[in-house]
Amino acid sequence: MHGAGNDFMVARWPEEMNLPDADTVRRWADRRSGVGFDQLLLVRASGRAGLAAFYHIFNADGAEVQQCGNGVRCIARYLEPDGAGNTLLLGSRCGTVEARLETGGQVSVSLGEPDFAPASLPFRARRATLAGEVADARNAARYQLEVDAGTVEFGAVSLGNPHAVIPVEVVDTAPVGIIGPQLQSHPSFPEGVNVGFVEFRDAANIRLRVFERGAGETAACGTGAAAAAAVGRFWGELGETVRVEVAGGVLKTAWPGPGHAIWLSGPAVRVYEGRIEV
């Protein structure tokens, strides 16, 4: 399956089976000798009333992570392929997510309230905060860090997974493959970070590229889109609803502001089905 080009292997995983180890995930993720994907999504019975399923997410490098916006949308479509108008509650390591299945293959998910507190990523801000700004759970400060390529200015936010958002003039020429891995491996982010490069077009439109933790640059990143929209709103660049153009298509976000969850909408497409021996 894919969500705006962000591609996944989605599988029902029996409760009695151990989760796959990192070597197995990496083998399946190989695009030449395996299935090939950005993330592996494993769906299990929830064991809780009201929850349609519980899911696990693994990056292509084999590491289990807490959240993936496009992945959750694809899980909802996987569980309810013909369920336009239905609402599902899904459980994960970072809590419960609400998913709404819509017409035209679109799925919307609630990703919770963006958390700007450095500890939530985690991010060792120390002296990185720019003068005159304070970072807490509801305020997006601007930070600076030194990497090999120079000084990088960015916002930091958690949406169940960590994001750094870098404003750029033109996203097409942004040094994603250079600054992305350098900031991702910076000691200020002890668990790594997803690095987004955002071009603010106007108050309702952005263009985005994301260097994902454990996957590299992908065609789309759902939580990355939400992170860019949330940071841009606090910086005064964006309004409540934002159209996010990514390499794989278009995503949309909606966020009224502090005290509210941010919603992510976009396509969730089933590409093919198969079986794999484990």
The per-residue pLDDT for 213 is: 96
Residue 135 shares a structural domain with residue 226: yes
Q: Is 221 a catalytic residue?
A: yes
How does pLDDT run across 159-196, given as a tens digit for each residue?
999 999 999 999 999 999 999 999 999 999 999 999 99
Residue 77 shares a structural domain with residue 165: no
Beta strand spans in the chain (E) = 2-3, 6-12, 39-44, 53-59, 64-65, 87-92, 95-101, 106-110, 143-147, 150-158, 162-167, 194-202, 205-212, 216-218, 241-246, 249-254, 263-267
Q: Which residues contact 211 (CB under 8 A, 6 or more apart)?
A: 176, 177, 180, 181, 184, 194, 195, 196, 197, 217
Residue 246 shares a structural domain with residue 129: yes
Residue 242 shares a structural domain with residue 143: yes
The per-residue pLDDT for 131 is: 44
Rounded alpha-carbon distances, angstroms, from residue 94 to 6, 163, 199: 21, 15, 29
Active-site option among 29, 221, 262, 268: 221
The per-residue pLDDT for 129 is: 59
Count structural domains, the chain: 2
Whether residue 266 lies inside any domain: the answer is: no
On the question of a cis peptide bond just before residue 122, with omega within 30 degrees of 0, the verdict is yes
Rounded alpha-carbon distances, angstroms, from residue 33 to 6, 24, 26, 36, 119: 19, 12, 10, 8, 39
Domain region containing 66:
2-112
Residue 68 shares a structural domain with residue 122: no
- Whichever domain contains 98, its CATH number is 3.10.310.10
The per-residue pLDDT for 128 is: 63
Residue 246 shares a structural domain with residue 133: yes
pLDDT less than 70: residues of the chain = 127-134
Give Cα 119 to chain centroid, integer Å.
18
Active-site option among 68, 107, 195, 251: 68
For the question of whether the overall pTM of this predicted structure is more than 0.85, the answer is: yes
Residue 52 shares a structural domain with residue 170: no
Whether residue 135 lies inside any domain: the answer is: yes
Residue 108 shares a structural domain with residue 133: no
* Contact predicate 88/50, CB 8 Å: no
